[in-house]
Amino acid sequence: MKLLVVFLLVGTMMVLSEGFPEPEPGPEAKPTEGKNSVVKRAAGCPFGWTQFGRRCLIVNAPMKWTDAQNHCLSMKGNLLSIHNVYQNSWAMSLMGGRRTWIAGSDAQEDGQWFNVDGTRFNYANWCHGEPNNHGGQEHCAEINYSDQRCWNDAPCLMHLHSICARKVNP
Q: Please, what is the Cα angle at 118 between 94 and 91, to 5 degrees?
A: 10
Binding mask 126-165 for Ca ion (x = CB under 5 A): ----x-xxx---xx------------xx------------
Find the binding residues for Ca ion in span 43-62 (CB under 5 A): none
Name the residue nearer to Ca ion (CB basis): 55 or 139: 139
- What is the nearest approach in angstroms of Ca ion to the Cβ of residue 158? 11
Strand residues in the chain grouped as ranges (E): 50-52, 55-63, 78-79, 100-105, 114-115, 138-145, 150-155, 160-167
Name the residue nearer to Ca ion (CB basis): 117 or 130: 130
Q: Please, what is the Cα angle at 98 between 96 and 104, to 5 degrees?
A: 115
Question: Interface with Ca ion by CB under 5 A: which residues?
Answer: 106, 110, 130, 132-134, 138-139, 152-153
